[in-house]
Amino acid sequence: MNLPNKLTLARVIAVPFFIVLFLMGYNCWAAVLFIAAAATDALDGHLARKNGLVTNFGKIMDPLADKILVISALILLVQTGDVAGWMVIVILAREFTVAGLRTVAAADGTVIAAGMTGKIKTVLQMIAVPLLLLENWPFSYTGIPMDVIMLWACVIMTIISGVEYVYSNKKIFTKGGI
């Protein structure tokens, strides 16, 4: 297994530790771990492209690892009342739709990599979650609710990227027998 794929798996392995830190009330440490795990997303993709190590495993597992990390955090934040449940439902609906389309495409031998709007959505999520965990720090003293702004940006970009993903891969609906 190459280094980019190991970094992807490390992101998945970090999730239970993130959950424990969060549930124990160590939000600062949970945010640090989340940021470190999120950083592996940028690093694994960069290393894979730079060194010609792009694999089908990485194309599939990298976005899945992101989803596991982000959705875990968002569900925990729903539990504490910091994120509205409907927002997570919108995000989950998009993720299940994309995963379903990828599964249908994979059955036909096609691997669909993440698009630019999906990457932007992920970056926004990776910024929003630590802001929410840290109660809007470092913006808490400015009166600017960056955590809420970033959360709304995530939901909006989730919808945009989901619509774009379905539209740009509409051929799957006919090829997959739908």
pLDDT of residue 177: 54
Q: Where are the alpha helices (DSSP H) in the chain?
A: 3-23, 27-50, 56-79, 85-107, 116-133, 146-168, 171-175
**Ranges under pLDDT 50 in the chain:** none
pLDDT of residue 112: 80
pLDDT of residue 178: 57
Name the CATH superfamily housing domain 3-175: CDP-alcohol phosphotransferase transmembrane (TM) domain (1.20.120.1760)
Summarize pLDDT for 49-63 with one digit per residue, the tens. 999 999 988 888 988
Domain boundaries, the chain: 3-175
Question: Distance between CA atoms of 144 and 137, rounded to whole angstroms?
Answer: 10
Summarize pLDDT for 4-18 with one digit per residue, the tens. 999 999 999 999 999
The CA–CA distances, whole Å, from 115 to 74, 92, 118 equal 22, 17, 5
pLDDT of residue 171: 84
Question: In 10 A of CB 56, how many CB atoms?
Answer: 10
pLDDT of residue 113: 74
Question: Distance between CA atoms of 155 and 176, rounded to whole angstroms?
Answer: 28
Coil, strand, or helix at residue 108? coil
Q: What is the pTM of this model?
A: 0.91
pLDDT of residue 103: 86
- Among 120, 99, 119, which residue's Cα sits nearest to residue 169? 99
- Among 115, 109, 116, 139, which residue's Cα sits nearest to residue 127? 139
Question: Distance between CA atoms of 106 and 103, rounded to whole angstroms?
Answer: 5
Summarize pLDDT for 77-96 with one digit per residue, the tens. 999 999 999 999 999 999 99
